[in-house]
Amino acid sequence: MSLPEDWLERLRRSLAAAPDHDPDHWHIAGQPLSTLPAARVAMPAALRAAAVLMPIVDRPRAPTLLMTARAGHLRHHAGQISFPGGGIEADDADVLAAALRETREETGIEARFIEPLGFLPDQVVLTGFRITPVVALLRPEFTLQVDTAEVTEVFEMPLEFLIDPGNFRPVRRVLRGVEVTLNDLNYEGRVVWGATAGLLQVLHTALRRET
């Protein structure tokens, strides 16, 4: 299954122009939180605001998603496949500023190579975070300067890989006593699960939406 020729236009139409922090619109594991009442009950009372950048590298032959593998010693989500990002700090002007700062700190990619496109719905995780995803185009002229204390690998996954629903594998997991179905992906031996897989599920829906 190939990427639609109008994938960028579809994506622009699907993204929000500003972050939407309304709890009624939150997602978990790529699904609306409203459809998983047990997860809502298990959610910590206070969630830390975080932001991630979902960079689509505008490669001449075909677009790719730039992703990272988190270092194994980190306190949260150690060793998992992720996007550049982290907690929003007090001196961050807004969600976008936080995502750009974290991207620069983790990968060395400068903001001048990044064109923000819009926002996906907030994704919440039972470890206590509310993540706002910023989708952006990344010019391929960027250079990497990876912070190896936080990131062990930076790689690119073809955006086309997300189009085929067969690449998502439903897996039942118990998170903090709540059983949820996660749609994992396995790309070249890397297992993408958790919040990142949830973000990719939402992006998959946006890319396939025709109107």
Q: Is the pLDDT of residue 77 over 50?
A: no
- The pLDDT confidence band at residue 95, using thresholds 50, 70 and 90, is very high
pLDDT at 108: 97
CATH class of 7-208: alpha beta
Specify whether the CB–CB gap between 82 and 106 falls below 8 A.
Answer: no
Average pLDDT, the chain: 90
Per-residue pLDDT of 23-50, as tens digits, reads 999 998 888 988 888 777 778 888 999 9
pTM of the model: 0.92
Q: Distances from the Cα of 61 to the Cαs of 55, 58, 91, in angstroms? A: 16, 9, 39
Q: What is the pLDDT of residues 119-172, one digit of tens each?
A: 999 999 888 899 999 999 999 999 999 998 889 999 999 999 999 999 999 888
Q: What Rg, from alpha-carbon coordinates, does the chain have?
A: 16
Domain ranges of the chain: 7-208
HSE-CB of 163 using CA atoms within 13 angstroms:
17
- Nearest 5°: CA angle at 92, between 86 and 98? 35
> Model confidence over 173-192: pLDDT tens digits?
777 677 777 889 999 989 89
Least confident of 16-25, 73-82, 88-97, 175-184: 73-82
